[in-house]
Structure 1
Amino acid sequence: MSGRAFRRAVNKEYELVSRPKSAEDDSDQAEEESDYEQQKTNLFDLLNEGIDDEEEQKSDENEKAKQEKVIIESLVPTKSISSKKKKKKKKISEKSFVKDKENHQKIDNSSKEFSDKFDSLSNVQKNVDSKETFSMSSNIKFLTVDTRLLDADGEMKRMFSSRIVDREIRDRNYIRTIRKTLLAKPRQTWPPIIKFGLGMDLVEEKDGIYNFEFTHSQQYQTAQISFLQCIATHDSSTIFGLLQKNPYHIDSLLQISDIYKMSDDHAMSSEFIERALYAFEKSFHIKFNISKGISRLSYNKFENRAFFLALFRQIQSLSRRGCWQTSFEFSKLLLSLDPVNDPLCVLHIIDYIGLKAKQYEYVISFTNEWEHYNLKNLPNFSYSSAMAKFQSELKELKELKESNNMNVSHEESMAMLEKAILYFPTVVPLIVKKCDIQLDSDIEENEFLHETSPKNFLNLLIDLYVEQNSPLWTQPEVISWFQTAIINVVVKLQVPSYKASLSDKEFSAAFVHGRKIRENLFDDQIPLDISRYIIVSENSKFLGRLPAVANRSINLYDPLPPPDGTNPYSVHTVGPIDGNIIDLQRFLGRVPNANVQIAERINQIADAANLQAAADRLVEILWGVNNNNLNSNNNEDEITNDNSSMPGGFPQEPDNVENESEFEENENNNENIDDA
């Protein structure tokens, strides 16, 4: 029972027990209260009159004794000759006193019980607060989301003219809702949202952290099974048809978003992602809070994974539009859902997005204080924290220039960059080549910068960092700063007496620690979550380096699920690739001259409903292009090796003439269809 409800019950009980029974009882009770008040007044006066004068004390005590005697005598029944009426009245008075005494005792007990319960409630609240304080580690502050900055339109207004942005906003036909949504704004073109079968339950609350899970009703389960059947048909028009019957089915919305993205219609692709997020938000539990960083979802549960994917694709969409601040807030939200396991590897993008959003202090503090991992031992955070410090110093320098104060140096950021180079030296030649940075040949060809690591995982992380973050190293001030740090490290290794930004002790410690990191910290095997991240981030050039992709099929609505995860729909999965038409996009980068040879085919297909047929046709064209290129180079063995590492379970090369003839027959049939 809450404190307010308990107080109300006590007051009601007090009114019942203190209600007068009769006029005589009322008068007797008034006399008793008068005597009690007189006694209370005298005791108060006794305290206020002081205790220095013994005579006054004695007189007060005598007076008190007399008053107590009077009270006792008035309460004790005396023998007197009276009429029956007086005797009856006297008996009533005695009963009234006894009853009043019991009532007062009952009230006192109730008050004491209320006080005890109130104290108990207060103690419970204090214990809860202490638990929350204990569990709310320093990580929580990095997971809080400013919901005001989740509005991409607001960021666009800050970057560009409000008049231009307002015109674009009007074209989107947003509608006003009674309750403001945070993740997406509904549009007039969207169907009205009603109960569509997606819900959320609170699984556990522990130490101030709330664990939730999405749930599928029987209605939603039917739609999900229909979706899997549509996927198996390899026909996108069936998904459009399913979406007409179930306009807020999540996987259908995300699949169609991918279809539009493949056709370079990013506006429609973004709209379907927003529609999925809007459906999710309408299904949130009342206690699911996206701003405080205390709500968790397990990626092991199939029903939860679509929310992770929707947020990741929203981050991609916002980054493509240049809404870096909004993308940064969504990144924190995605990380807060499962900060320990980080199933989509937000830690490999949040540093880059934070730098683009000019959140320099966040990147520095996050690198130094994140408790789950020592982020300084990762290539991206080792270099990004140094970059954040340098940009922060540049910002401070620009502010001081306006006040004619130039007392700002880059010593701290230079030391951080030197340490990063000592930790991961092979990053240097990759950035130098990628950004076309000029170095002396003696420096550029130094053996330390070209140490090859046998760790596949480490090499992949370094390549991912350079591929993503290299645009940040093209600024002239950054290039000069980078060149100086490289020279300091290389010369210091050759001439120990050379003075770098790091002290001799710090330099030696960083050198030793870096070697330990490279040799002992990273495994040879590439983790499953990194493979999953590469797939959802569309880094097609790295797919061939993922054994997890080579040895298993991929469903883009559930890419590389965790081995211990649950999937109630696994019995309904059909086919090795389950109709993942977007695997075509991943495959494009692996076929020489593919874009040139299929561009005309793409332009010939104008109807969005035939995108699936187009994708199927393009797959066949790609296989023809690939076979022609490989046959011309007499690399028949390469076909088998390449197919074994291809995502999505694409069909292997025909092993016999019968299959090959069938393949050619299907290709001819498709050509006839295209001609028609």
Structure 2
Amino acid sequence: MSSRQLRRLGKDDLETTLLKLTSKSGSPAVVEEDEEHNERAKPVSSNPFMFMNDEDGEDEEDEDEVEPVPAEVLAPKVEIETKSQKLNAKKANKKKNKKNKKQGKKEADPANEDEDDEEFYRLLNQFQKKNVKAYKSLDSEDEYDEYDDDDGFTTADEDANQEKEDGSSVWKRYDLRNDPGFSKFKHFKQLAAMFESFDFKQLIPDNEFKQLFDDLSPESLQDIDSVTSTHVSPEVLKQIDRLRRLVKNWSGKDKRSVPNGGSVRKLQFTKIRDDWLPTVRGEFLMKKVSNEQLVSWLKWQRPLDWDTVIKDDVERKWSKHFDYYKFDALDDTGSKKALTEFYLSTVLHPDHEALISIISSQFPYHVPGLLQVALICVRQGDKSNSNGLVERALFVFDRCLKNGILFNGKDFQLPYIYFYNRQFYLAIMRYIQVVSQRGAISTAAQWCKTLLSLSPLEDPLGARYFMDHYLAVNEEYQYIIQMVKNPLFNLYKQWFTLGLGLTAVYSYWKLSCIEEAQQLLRQVWKHYPSSVYKIYTEVLLADPSQLKFKIPSADVSTSIETKAYITRMGVVWKETEAKKFLRDELASIFNTCSLNTPSNDIDEDDTTPSPFFIENIPINLLRFAVLSQESSVMAAIPEKIWSDYSVFEFDVLPPKPHDRESEDVIETIESLIDSKHLEVSQMERFADEELLQQINQLSLREYLEQEQRLQQPNDEIE
């Protein structure tokens, strides 16, 4: 739809729309009832220009032709304002000013534009505050005491999820140690609400760059797409170009067409680079996990449960609400050979040169090799090559995704027990670091949501421990508040993280919801007393003398989590007023609130295997700490973890079988390599090393003999 048609259909701009919404005392439903009495409904979306295409700014279509507006556009909505939507509005205003200038109209006064921006942000802040107030209170007894049962009806939780503390009702959190099968989680509607706004376009950093730099021409964008992802010589580029002519449907004008056997597939979130080798088929095949495989997986998670109970849960609960998939190698023989060479060059005999040779000449789309070499490039200071290798690894998975797949926390679940599934998690984790370094914070925030959506209950890489940072920098304050109210972040103790709690406090403060911020800060204090005290004394540099009771010492997991949050805390809490608010409120808490030490219900003698803990530390927290590459965070990890467990960079703390039956369920790199090929490769390597030693010894012997011959004439002269 063109911009002119949108202006004819909705004559109200963003400010007028916000004024209408904020001026009404009722809920959004009241606004909807009033709009039904109008002769023609007007779009009241928070940004009416977001439905425009980039080429619509200079559209010359007939003004009399009006396209019908979809019902979802006409229906009033309460949307979360993100930084990308604000950039869309600014971009549309700039295009409108340019068009008015072409038509000979007077150019707008810059002072008036600044006043308009200030007015816009003031109205936006007022609207967001009212929207937050419209939600139920954080301590409402009706907030979490109901769930969606297996039959689709809403019933009360028989486990009494509410308990009284200091006269107020709060959410009672369970412990994952006692419930490895997530039997308490039945809030599937609330889970789906966290990912309902998913769109693949939000995962492409180029779209965010277009919004940030709206004066980029199409030619400039094409030049950017033609840039190679790694450093290659012109001769190699010519050879790749010849291969591109032989492989049909490779790349295309939009850089998103790729052949996959006899069909053509459109890439969802990656673009083909000019230095990527054209191939006819992809590397992976996406398969749906059967109910029998789900039962085997749950048996590994819940070794003490009856088989009949697990089968019943799979049929009535998990397979009903989720679709599970796994990535398998399309060429099993070639994949085993590549993994064997990779294992030999990475684990048995580390050799960077041999590893680089694997992805440069033999297996250019070998994902573990690409991610491992990318990490080597980062350590050598070569970030450009590293970013290109991570993008190529992500492209391998994008190429095999089935049509219609969405990262909405429901339709695409990836069990972490499968090796190539873990490689997809790792590729996303690396890519979040890449796009954030490029300044595409909005894209990084969307990728964090994607990473969590792949397994929201297990969260194998600990997205809960760092995604609040990207959301806060992207100014998604309402989304953060929804997170802190959602059962997905409250049902278990390990789900309510320190970063989420304090970032939600900051979000309430930004929206001028002071009471809610104070209330939530007290809950964070009760859940993380040692962490809050450390922030109060070491970050805020406040005087701790007014504290009249002893703070319990922090355990290892709390120490790791605290250091991880303090490392990035300054980026969010950067305003002086915000720091003053946090310092004053913590001082008030120390003076007025008592601290009840939580009871430790963990049996130290319990030897029951838990797939989500290592040495009483959440395993996803350990994985996040290792992958963060933050030295202070990694230093907090106990030395026993590094020495007694598999902390490979290509597969950090992989799941381990705890009995013979689960050995066939868990995929590890040792179970996927070719043992015979490994023996042959090792024998060849040993032979090469022995030959090299003989050459060195021979060279040394010749050197000694030559020295002796040179010494003989000197002895005769003497």
**Band of TM-score, shorter chain:** 0.5 to 0.7
2:323 to 190, 205, 210: 210
**2:139 corresponds to which residue?**
none
1:479 maps onto 2:579 in alignment: yes
Q: CA separation of 1:297/1:553 partners in 2, compared to 1, >3 Å: closer, same or farther? A: closer
**1:467 corresponds to which residue?**
567
1:303 to 413, 420, 432: 420
1:379 maps onto 2:502 in alignment: no
Counterpart amino acid of 1:410?
I
Counterpart amino acid of 1:431?
I
How big is the shift at 1:347?
Answer: 1.0
Q: How does 1:137-176 map to 2 (within 5 A)?
A: 137-144=189-196, 145-160=198-213, 162-163=215-216, 167=220, 170-173=223-226, 176=254
Q: CA separation of 1:259/1:374 partners in 2, compared to 1, >3 Å: closer, same or farther? A: same
**1:104 corresponds to which residue?**
none
How big is the shift at 1:292?
Answer: 6.1
How big is the shift at 1:569?
Answer: 3.2
How big is the shift at 1:169?
Answer: 6.3
2:453 to 336, 343, 349: 336
- Root mean square deviation, CA, Å: 3.4
**1:439 corresponds to which residue?**
542
2:618 to 519, 527, 541: 527
**1:230 corresponds to which residue?**
345
The normalised TM-score by structure 2 is 0.52
**1:79 corresponds to which residue?**
none
Aligned equivalents of 1:233 and 1:391: distance in 2? 53
The answer to whether the 8 A contact 1:344-1:529 is kept is yes
Any idea what the Cα deviations from partners look like across 1:368-416, whole Å, max 9, x if unmatched? 11347346843222212211211233xxxxxxxxxxxxxxx62322332
How big is the shift at 1:432?
Answer: 4.1
SS in 2 for 1:138: helix
The answer to whether the 8 A contact 1:293-1:336 is kept is yes
Any idea what the Cα deviations from partners look like across 1:83-127, whole Å, max 9, x if unmatched? xxxxxxxxxxxxxxxxxxxxxxxxxxxxxxxxxxxxxxxxxxxxx
| CA radius of gyration, larger in | 1
Q: How does 1:427-576 map to 2 (within 5 A)?
A: 427-432=531-536, 434-435=538-539, 437-440=540-543, 442-443=545-546, 446-448=547-549, 451-453=551-553, 455-493=555-593, 511-512=595-596, 515-516=597-598, 525-544=616-635, 545-546=637-638, 547-564=640-657, 565-567=666-668, 569-570=670-671, 572=673
1:220 to 330, 335, 349: 335
1:324 to 413, 437, 441: 441
Counterpart amino acid of 1:460?
I
How big is the shift at 1:277?
Answer: 0.8
Counterpart amino acid of 2:212?
M
How big is the shift at 1:280?
Answer: 0.6
Counterpart amino acid of 1:209?
F
Counterpart amino acid of 2:569?
N
The answer to whether the 8 A contact 1:534-1:543 is kept is yes
Counterpart amino acid of 1:186?
I
**2:476 corresponds to which residue?**
359
Aligned equivalents of 2:529 and 2:669: distance in 1? 47
1:421 to 505, 513, 525: 525
**2:678 corresponds to which residue?**
none
Unaligned runs of 5+ in 2: 1-149, 155-185, 228-250, 258-264, 292-318, 604-612, 658-665, 676-699, 701-718
Structure with greater proportional helix content:
1
SS in 2 for 1:338: coil
Q: CA separation of 1:349/1:280 partners in 2, compared to 1, >3 Å: closer, same or farther? A: same
The answer to whether the 8 A contact 1:457-1:523 is kept is no
Q: CA separation of 1:518/1:482 partners in 2, compared to 1, >3 Å: closer, same or farther? A: farther
SS in 2 for 1:426: helix
Any idea what the Cα deviations from partners look like across 1:14-65, whole Å, max 9, x if unmatched? xxxxxxxxxxxxxxxxxxxxxxxxxxxxxxxxxxxxxxxxxxxxxxxxxxxx
**2:355 corresponds to which residue?**
239
How big is the shift at 1:548?
Answer: 1.9
The answer to whether the 8 A contact 2:289-2:326 is kept is yes
Q: CA separation of 1:164/1:322 partners in 2, compared to 1, >3 Å: closer, same or farther? A: farther
Aligned equivalents of 2:281 and 2:153: distance in 1? 34
1:190 maps onto 2:293 in alignment: no
2:486 to 369, 380, 393: 369
SS in 1 for 2:323: strand
The answer to whether the 8 A contact 2:472-2:507 is kept is yes
Any idea what the Cα deviations from partners look like across 1:157-184, whole Å, max 9, x if unmatched? 3334643997476234175234542221
How big is the shift at 1:348?
Answer: 0.6
Counterpart amino acid of 1:556?
E
Q: How does 1:55-134 map to 2 (within 5 A)?
A: none
How big is the shift at 1:573?
Answer: 9.6
The answer to whether the 8 A contact 2:646-2:654 is kept is no
Out of 484-493 and 160-169, give the one that drifted further. Answer: 160-169
Any idea what the Cα deviations from partners look like across 1:251-285, whole Å, max 9, x if unmatched? 11111211221122222211111111111111123
Q: CA separation of 1:470/1:428 partners in 2, compared to 1, >3 Å: closer, same or farther? A: farther
Aligned equivalents of 1:560 and 1:246: distance in 2? 25
Counterpart amino acid of 2:652?
P
Aligned equivalents of 2:623 and 2:541: distance in 1? 36
Any idea what the Cα deviations from partners look like across 1:498-556, whole Å, max 9, x if unmatched? xxxxxxxxxx7xx54xx327887999722333222211121333434333223234321
How big is the shift at 1:474?
Answer: 2.8
Aligned equivalents of 2:674 and 2:618: distance in 1? 25
How big is the shift at 1:306?
Answer: 0.5
Aligned equivalents of 1:340 and 1:201: distance in 2? 21
The answer to whether the 8 A contact 1:418-1:488 is kept is no
Any idea what the Cα deviations from partners look like across 1:135-158, whole Å, max 9, x if unmatched? 842101213422221111222233
Aligned equivalents of 1:367 and 1:195: distance in 2? 43
Aligned equivalents of 1:528 and 1:292: distance in 2? 21
Residues paired across the two proteins, number: 410
**1:8 corresponds to which residue?**
none
Q: CA separation of 1:139/1:166 partners in 2, compared to 1, >3 Å: closer, same or farther? A: farther
How big is the shift at 1:456?
Answer: 2.2
Percent same amino acid at aligned positions?
A: 21
**1:315 corresponds to which residue?**
432
The answer to whether the 8 A contact 1:202-1:285 is kept is no
SS in 1 for 2:286: strand
How big is the shift at 1:561?
Answer: 0.7
How big is the shift at 1:571?
Answer: 7.6
Aligned equivalents of 1:309 and 1:422: distance in 2? 34
Unaligned runs of 5+ in 1: 1-128, 394-408, 494-507, 575-664, 666-676
Aligned equivalents of 2:409 and 2:655: distance in 1? 27
The answer to whether the 8 A contact 1:153-1:165 is kept is no
Counterpart amino acid of 1:490?
F
Aligned equivalents of 1:463 and 1:333: distance in 2? 25
The answer to whether the 8 A contact 1:456-1:523 is kept is no
Q: How does 1:14-53 map to 2 (within 5 A)?
A: none
Aligned equivalents of 1:523 and 1:273: distance in 2? 29
